[in-house]
Protein backbone atom coordinates (compact mmCIF):
# COMPACT_ATOMS: atom_id res chain seq x y z
CA UNK A 1 0.00 0.00 0.00
CA UNK A 2 1.33 3.45 -0.91
CA UNK A 3 2.28 5.52 2.07
CA UNK A 4 1.53 9.19 2.25
CA UNK A 5 2.70 11.97 4.54
CA UNK A 6 0.41 13.79 6.91
CA UNK A 7 -0.54 17.28 5.78
CA UNK A 8 -1.51 20.31 7.83
CA UNK A 9 -4.99 20.33 6.35
CA UNK A 10 -5.67 16.96 8.01
CA UNK A 11 -5.29 18.57 11.45
CA UNK A 12 -8.47 20.05 13.01
CA UNK A 13 -8.85 23.61 11.72
CA UNK A 14 -8.60 25.20 15.17
CA UNK A 15 -5.21 23.54 15.64
CA UNK A 16 -3.68 24.28 12.25
CA UNK A 17 -0.68 26.61 12.51
CA UNK A 18 -1.63 28.64 9.43
CA UNK A 19 -5.16 29.27 10.67
CA UNK A 20 -3.84 30.12 14.14
CA UNK A 21 -1.29 32.51 12.66
CA UNK A 22 -3.94 34.23 10.55
CA UNK A 23 -6.20 34.64 13.59
CA UNK A 24 -3.70 35.45 16.33
CA UNK A 25 -0.52 36.54 14.54
CA UNK A 26 2.87 34.87 14.11
CA UNK A 27 4.01 35.86 17.59
CA UNK A 28 1.33 33.58 19.11
CA UNK A 29 2.77 30.44 17.51
CA UNK A 30 5.34 28.14 19.04
CA UNK A 31 8.67 27.39 17.38
CA UNK A 32 7.31 24.04 16.24
CA UNK A 33 4.19 25.59 14.70
CA UNK A 34 6.20 28.15 12.74
CA UNK A 35 8.55 25.43 11.59
CA UNK A 36 5.58 23.26 10.54
CA UNK A 37 4.32 26.06 8.28
CA UNK A 38 7.70 26.10 6.55
CA UNK A 39 8.05 22.37 6.01
CA UNK A 40 4.32 21.97 5.11
CA UNK A 41 4.21 18.15 5.22
CA UNK A 42 5.16 15.50 7.72
CA UNK A 43 6.13 11.86 7.23
CA UNK A 44 3.91 8.82 6.66
CA UNK A 45 3.78 8.34 10.43
CA UNK A 46 3.69 11.87 11.82
CA UNK A 47 2.15 15.25 11.11
CA UNK A 48 4.11 18.32 10.11
CA UNK A 49 3.86 19.67 13.66
CA UNK A 50 5.21 16.43 15.14
CA UNK A 51 8.00 16.40 12.60
CA UNK A 52 8.79 20.04 13.39
CA UNK A 53 9.01 19.29 17.10
CA UNK A 54 11.26 16.32 16.42
CA UNK A 55 13.53 18.46 14.23
CA UNK A 56 13.92 20.92 17.09
CA UNK A 57 14.63 18.13 19.55
CA UNK A 58 17.16 16.33 17.37
CA UNK A 59 18.96 19.50 16.33
CA UNK A 60 19.20 20.76 19.92
CA UNK A 61 16.81 23.69 19.76
CA UNK A 62 16.16 26.66 17.56
CA UNK A 63 19.64 28.20 17.77
CA UNK A 64 21.36 24.91 16.98
CA UNK A 65 18.94 24.39 14.12
CA UNK A 66 19.93 27.77 12.70
CA UNK A 67 23.59 26.72 12.82
CA UNK A 68 23.01 23.34 11.17
CA UNK A 69 24.57 22.67 7.80
CA UNK A 70 22.58 21.32 4.87
CA UNK A 71 24.19 17.90 5.24
CA UNK A 72 23.21 17.77 8.91
CA UNK A 73 19.61 18.73 8.19
CA UNK A 74 19.19 16.01 5.58
CA UNK A 75 20.31 13.43 8.13
CA UNK A 76 17.12 14.06 10.11
CA UNK A 77 14.41 11.59 9.10
CA UNK A 78 11.68 13.45 7.21
CA UNK A 79 13.97 16.24 5.98
CA UNK A 80 14.95 15.79 2.37
CA UNK A 81 17.10 18.09 0.24
CA UNK A 82 14.19 20.42 -0.62
CA UNK A 83 13.03 20.88 2.97
CA UNK A 84 16.61 21.42 4.11
CA UNK A 85 17.03 24.20 1.54
CA UNK A 86 13.72 25.79 2.55
CA UNK A 87 14.80 25.87 6.18
CA UNK A 88 18.21 27.30 5.37
CA UNK A 89 16.71 29.97 3.13
CA UNK A 90 14.26 31.02 5.86
CA UNK A 91 17.04 31.13 8.47
CA UNK A 92 19.24 33.23 6.18
CA UNK A 93 16.40 35.69 5.56
CA UNK A 94 15.98 36.03 9.31
CA UNK A 95 19.69 36.75 9.68
CA UNK A 96 19.58 39.41 6.97
CA UNK A 97 16.59 41.11 8.57
CA UNK A 98 18.43 41.16 11.89
CA UNK A 99 21.49 42.74 10.23
CA UNK A 100 19.58 45.24 8.13
CA UNK A 101 19.00 48.82 9.16
CA UNK A 102 16.11 51.08 8.43
CA UNK A 103 16.88 53.40 5.51
CA UNK A 104 17.97 56.86 6.54
CA UNK A 105 14.97 59.15 6.67
CA UNK A 106 15.05 62.06 4.25
CA UNK A 107 13.95 65.34 5.77
CA UNK A 108 12.86 68.27 3.64
CA UNK A 109 13.97 71.59 5.12
CA UNK A 110 14.29 73.62 1.92
CA UNK A 111 13.41 73.51 -1.78
CA UNK A 112 17.00 72.44 -2.43
CA UNK A 113 16.50 69.29 -0.34
CA UNK A 114 13.59 68.24 -2.55
CA UNK A 115 15.43 69.17 -5.72
CA UNK A 116 18.43 67.09 -4.66
CA UNK A 117 16.10 64.14 -4.16
CA UNK A 118 14.34 64.44 -7.52
CA UNK A 119 16.63 66.27 -9.93
CA UNK A 120 18.75 63.42 -11.26
CA UNK A 121 15.69 61.42 -12.21
CA UNK A 122 13.30 64.06 -13.51
CA UNK A 123 15.75 66.14 -15.56
CA UNK A 124 16.23 63.34 -18.11
CA UNK A 125 12.60 62.59 -18.91
CA UNK A 126 11.29 63.56 -22.34
CA UNK A 127 7.75 63.79 -21.00
CA UNK A 128 6.43 65.72 -18.05
CA UNK A 129 6.27 63.65 -14.87
CA UNK A 130 4.30 64.99 -11.93
CA UNK A 131 5.70 63.60 -8.67
CA UNK A 132 4.46 64.04 -5.13
CA UNK A 133 6.46 63.64 -1.94
CA UNK A 134 4.43 62.77 1.14
CA UNK A 135 5.74 64.03 4.48
CA UNK A 136 4.98 63.50 8.16
CA UNK A 137 4.72 66.15 10.86
CA UNK A 138 8.55 66.36 11.04
CA UNK A 139 8.82 67.01 7.29
CA UNK A 140 10.32 63.56 6.79
CA UNK A 141 9.52 61.82 3.50
CA UNK A 142 7.22 58.86 4.13
CA UNK A 143 6.31 58.18 0.52
CA UNK A 144 6.70 59.19 -3.08
CA UNK A 145 4.50 58.65 -6.12
CA UNK A 146 4.41 59.65 -9.77
CA UNK A 147 0.82 60.76 -10.26
CA UNK A 148 0.89 61.81 -13.90
CA UNK A 149 2.93 61.38 -17.05
CA UNK A 150 2.10 63.82 -19.81
CA UNK A 151 3.08 64.59 -23.38
CA UNK A 152 6.25 66.36 -24.47
CA UNK A 153 5.05 69.64 -23.01
CA UNK A 154 2.00 68.93 -20.87
CA UNK A 155 1.19 67.08 -17.69
CA UNK A 156 -2.34 66.80 -16.40
CA UNK A 157 -3.02 66.17 -12.72
CA UNK A 158 -6.10 66.91 -10.65
CA UNK A 159 -5.93 67.96 -6.98
CA UNK A 160 -8.28 65.08 -6.22
CA UNK A 161 -5.66 62.55 -7.31
CA UNK A 162 -2.93 64.30 -5.33
CA UNK A 163 -4.80 64.47 -2.05
CA UNK A 164 -6.35 61.04 -2.39
CA UNK A 165 -2.80 59.67 -2.46
CA UNK A 166 -1.78 61.94 0.45
CA UNK A 167 -4.70 60.82 2.61
CA UNK A 168 -3.95 57.18 1.87
CA UNK A 169 -0.48 57.68 3.37
CA UNK A 170 -1.71 59.75 6.35
CA UNK A 171 0.46 62.65 5.17
CA UNK A 172 0.78 65.82 7.21
CA UNK A 173 1.96 67.77 4.18
CA UNK A 174 3.05 67.29 0.58
CA UNK A 175 5.59 68.68 -1.84
CA UNK A 176 4.95 68.45 -5.56
CA UNK A 177 7.36 68.63 -8.46
CA UNK A 178 7.31 68.20 -12.20
CA UNK A 179 9.87 68.49 -14.93
CA UNK A 180 10.03 70.59 -18.08
CA UNK A 181 11.51 68.43 -20.85
CA UNK A 182 12.81 71.57 -22.57
CA UNK A 183 15.26 72.01 -19.69
CA UNK A 184 13.89 75.47 -18.88
CA UNK A 185 12.24 75.45 -15.43
CA UNK A 186 10.36 78.70 -15.92
CA UNK A 187 6.81 78.03 -14.67
CA UNK A 188 3.97 78.33 -17.15
CA UNK A 189 0.67 80.02 -16.40
CA UNK A 190 -0.82 76.52 -16.03
CA UNK A 191 1.88 75.61 -13.48
CA UNK A 192 1.04 78.64 -11.37
CA UNK A 193 -2.70 78.01 -11.62
CA UNK A 194 -2.29 74.36 -10.62
CA UNK A 195 -0.14 75.35 -7.65
CA UNK A 196 -2.82 77.70 -6.36
CA UNK A 197 -5.52 75.06 -6.80
CA UNK A 198 -3.44 72.51 -4.90
CA UNK A 199 -2.78 74.98 -2.09
CA UNK A 200 -6.48 75.81 -1.79
CA UNK A 201 -7.47 72.14 -1.76
CA UNK A 202 -4.83 71.41 0.85
CA UNK A 203 -6.18 74.12 3.13
CA UNK A 204 -9.66 72.64 2.94
CA UNK A 205 -8.45 69.12 3.65
CA UNK A 206 -5.84 70.03 6.24
CA UNK A 207 -2.80 68.80 4.31
CA UNK A 208 -0.41 71.64 3.54
CA UNK A 209 1.25 72.05 0.16
CA UNK A 210 4.81 72.95 1.16
CA UNK A 211 6.04 73.75 -2.32
CA UNK A 212 5.78 72.99 -6.02
CA UNK A 213 9.06 72.67 -7.87
CA UNK A 214 9.55 72.94 -11.59
CA UNK A 215 12.67 71.04 -12.58
CA UNK A 216 14.74 71.69 -15.68
CA UNK A 217 18.21 70.62 -16.71
CA UNK A 218 20.22 70.97 -13.49
CA UNK A 219 18.03 73.92 -12.57
CA UNK A 220 14.80 74.28 -10.68
CA UNK A 221 12.36 76.94 -9.57
CA UNK A 222 10.37 76.93 -6.35
CA UNK A 223 6.90 78.35 -6.78
CA UNK A 224 6.82 79.07 -3.06
CA UNK A 225 9.91 81.24 -3.38
CA UNK A 226 8.19 82.94 -6.33
CA UNK A 227 5.35 83.92 -4.02
CA UNK A 228 2.75 81.60 -5.54
CA UNK A 229 2.07 79.98 -2.16
Report how far apart, in Å, the C-alpha atoms of 27 and of each of 17, 24, 62, 100, 213 are: 12, 8, 15, 20, 45
Which of 99-108, 119-128, 196-205, 217-226 has the weakest average pLDDT?
99-108
Which of 67-76, 150-159, 186-195 has the weakest average pLDDT?
150-159
Which pLDDT does position 163 carry in this prediction? 96
The region, left, alpha or beta by phi > 0 then psi within -120 to 50, assigned to residue 110 is: beta
Which pLDDT does position 3 carry in this prediction? 47
Average pLDDT over residues 60-82: 91
Which pLDDT does position 1 carry in this prediction? 40
Average pLDDT over residues 9-38: 80
Q: Is the pLDDT of residue 10 over 50?
A: yes
Pick the more confident residue, 102 or 171. Answer: 171
pLDDT band at 164 (very low <50, low <70, confident <90, very high): very high
Q: How many CB atoms lie within 10 A of CB 150?
A: 17
**What domains appear along the chain, each with residue ranges and CATH number?**
8-99 (1.10.150), 111-222 (3.40.140.10)
d(C-alpha 107, C-alpha 118), whole Å: 13
Which of 61-75, 121-135, 153-167, 190-204 has the weakest average pLDDT?
153-167
Average pLDDT over residues 67-92: 92
Which pLDDT does position 143 carry in this prediction? 92
Amino acid sequence: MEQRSFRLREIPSQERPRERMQQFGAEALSHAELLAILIRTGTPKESAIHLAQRILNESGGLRRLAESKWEELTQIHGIGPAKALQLQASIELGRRVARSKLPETVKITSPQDAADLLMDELRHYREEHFVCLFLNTKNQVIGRQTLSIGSLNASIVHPREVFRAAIRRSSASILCAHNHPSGDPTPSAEDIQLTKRLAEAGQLIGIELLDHLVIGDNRFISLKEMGCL
